[in-house]
Amino acid sequence: MRAFGTVLIVALIAGLCLGAGAALALEWDQDKVTEIAIRLQAEIKGLRADPGISPAQDTAFQERRHAAALATLQTMQRDTGRLVSMLREGVGRDSTQSVFDGLEDELTQIRSLAEESWVRPSASEKIKQVRRAYAELEAFYRSPR
């Protein structure tokens, strides 16, 4: 692994999946959920645009898995856009739950694929912003109905 201040992508993105137990349950607020989903979409876009997210990996195996994790991140960005569109149209929690569940599945896949990957420190703040936005959104989707 690179020694010049790199951060394991799995350690940062794993927090996205681990946030499930820590999320606070909140009463559904369509406008607030839409705002958070828009922010999550923007944070993912910013992360994908950061050159620090795509450094060369140490082995060909790491390169393939890292590329697959980035492709899944792209899918997550697309699916977040779909969620935003639905929420803007007034589609509520029950009908958007499956899209949110898909985001959670994508995060799990990224976590698995990125176990051996690393990113430059410049991308770590963006990963934290994605993690925070996801955790906020999760609080609404995981709250009791």
Amino acid at 143: S
8 A C-beta contact, residue 138 and residue 36? no
Quote the pTM value. 0.82
Residues linked to residue 119 through DSSP beta bridges, in sequence order: 7
What is the reported pLDDT for 37?
98
Distance of alpha carbon 121 from alpha carbon 4, whole angstroms: 9
- Scored b (16 or more CB within 10 A) or e, 81-99 reads eebbebbeeeeeeeebeeb
pLDDT tens digits, one per residue of 104-125: 999 989 888 887 787 888 888 8
pLDDT tens digits, one per residue of 10-52: 444 545 444 444 446 689 999 999 999 999 999 999 999 999 9
Give whole-number Cα distances, 8 to 79, 120, 127, in Å. Answer: 25, 9, 11
Nearest CA to 86 out of 41, 130, 145 is that of 41
Torsion angle of the four alpha carbons 45, 103, 38, 18, in this order, in degrees rounded to the nearest 10: -90
